Chains A and B, each alone.
Chain A
């Protein structure tokens, strides 16, 4: 080790500001996800497997499958989101990175929002993009595809935000996984209702617009309020 005995530091301390902090946070999360790899594929595999189970468990009859497809795809995507949540803060909690985030002069809710954004980008968005493919397996009528894609893209963002609250509250608990589902699933119900409702409405020749607008409203509310609850949850989990 070389002795920098002058007591001075290398950097002069040029401030990067909030946006720079967010960009750094997003880039870090993307890098970690890329190195781990599995995080990106696992929810998609889960979705595909669950969707495959239903025709085997219920009936392969197209008419029947078509009638349950919107709800089925939505429930499966919701569960896939839920599964991916458990690890959202766990790694950062264990290695002490979360502590550094808490002690950053940058506002914690915004840093959390950046983290949740990456979670959605790598989990929710791929699910939304793949769900139409699986819709083919379930004989989803043609009018439903666009609504399915849009409702999932909007809805999974809300799911990420709400789920992150639960993940933040349970990150310090030894077996938080099951508890996390118990806390989060009741809060997911409105998103499920409006999401599946949008697809159903589109299939039945109605307008998917109102349901999508409601999903958008939920997302707006979640973006405005959830980061503060997530930040509060993390502070409690770390500091008691």
Chain B
């Protein structure tokens, strides 16, 4: 077990493993995302209440889910890095952050667009949008802290601690925002907390969510390999790649 963990931690091995896993996730993403797109935009029936505007949820929900999952994945990688001192875990966390931030922006943007026909306003302090906005600032904080330290072991550890502090706080923030929301505007009509969807609506949603996950993993593996090349550029196996 021990040797396995460290073998996984070795850059050369990680590079090879990422290379081997990568195609599966690219294929999954590139099949699922087009199918999901066509299905959700053109095939699934319009909502009886919201008409075709509800088709935004096929972007909003996957990005919202990813926005949270990516942070949790970053926190897991940070914990692995701090506990076992495996540098590849830190590289993975660093590579995930921009994608997570982009997903949060997409979630905010699509939620805001959906708000116009539904609430008649671009922005509403609904619990989900508010906590997503806070989530965006958590991502920005993590990215900014890494930028301030530059590349190096010290910055990596600092970012890992911040990520873990952040992930502990996310449920508390969520709970407090929901508490605040019910205090100020009871029973808003939320984009996702809706009565059960028919299968014709949630099936494409599932496909989209899986497609986003596939894309996230594929991109992470791809960029992790780039990061490995960058940090190990003096190693012999990297030199051999360039030939």
Contact = CB atoms under 8 A, between A and B. Distances in A.
A associates with B:
yes
B173 interface: yes
Interface in A178-197: 179, 182-183, 185-187, 189-190, 193-194, 197
Interface string B126-149: 000000001001101100110011
A84 interface: no
A225 B166 CA distance: 13
Question: Which of B145, B164, B177 gathers most chain A CB within 10 Å?
Answer: B145
A140 B32 CA distance: 57
A144 to B, nearest CB: 15
B173 A186 contact: yes
Contact of B137 (A186, A193, A218, A225): A186
B158 A237 contact: yes
A236 B176 contact: no
Contacts of A229: 161, 164-165
A240 interface: yes
Nearest to B137: A186
A183 B162 contact: yes
Nearest to A238: B154
A228 to B, nearest CB: 10
Interface in A183-236: 183, 185-187, 189-190, 193-194, 197, 200, 214, 218, 221, 225, 229, 232-233, 236
- Interface size class, chain B: 20 to 34
A182 B140 contact: yes
Most chain A CB within a 10 A radius of its CB, from B144, B153, B165: B165
B88 to A, nearest CB: 19
A190 B172 contact: yes
A159 interface: no
Contact of B161 (A182, A193, A218, A236): A236
B161 A169 contact: yes
B199 interface: no
B87 to A, nearest CB: 14
B80 to A, nearest CB: 16
Category for how many chain A residues contact B: 20 to 34
B85 to A, nearest CB: 13
Interface in A154-169: 165, 169
Contacts, number: 75
A173 B148 contact: yes
Nearest to B138: A186
Contacts of B173: 186-187, 189-190
A187 B165 contact: yes
A172 B158 CA distance: 11
Contacts of A189: 134, 173, 176-177
B168 to A, nearest CB: 7
A6 to B, nearest CB: 43
A179 B148 contact: yes
Nearest to A172: B154
Contacts of A165: 161, 165
Contacts of A194: 176, 179
A193 B165 contact: no
Which of A185, A187, A200, A225 has the most B CB atoms < 10 Å from its CB? A187
Interface of A: 165, 169-170, 172-173, 176, 179, 182-183, 185-187, 189-190, 193-194, 197, 200, 214, 218, 221, 225, 229, 232-233, 236-237, 240
Closest 6 CB pairs of A and B: A190-B176, A240-B154, A186-B137, A193-B176, A193-B180, A183-B141
28 contacts: A165-B165, A169-B158, A170-B145, A173-B148, A183-B162, A187-B169, A189-B134, A189-B176, A189-B177, A190-B172, A190-B173, A190-B175, A193-B179, A194-B176, A194-B179, A197-B180, A197-B183, A214-B176, A221-B172, A225-B168, A229-B165, A232-B161, A236-B157, A236-B158, A237-B158, A240-B152, A240-B153, A240-B157
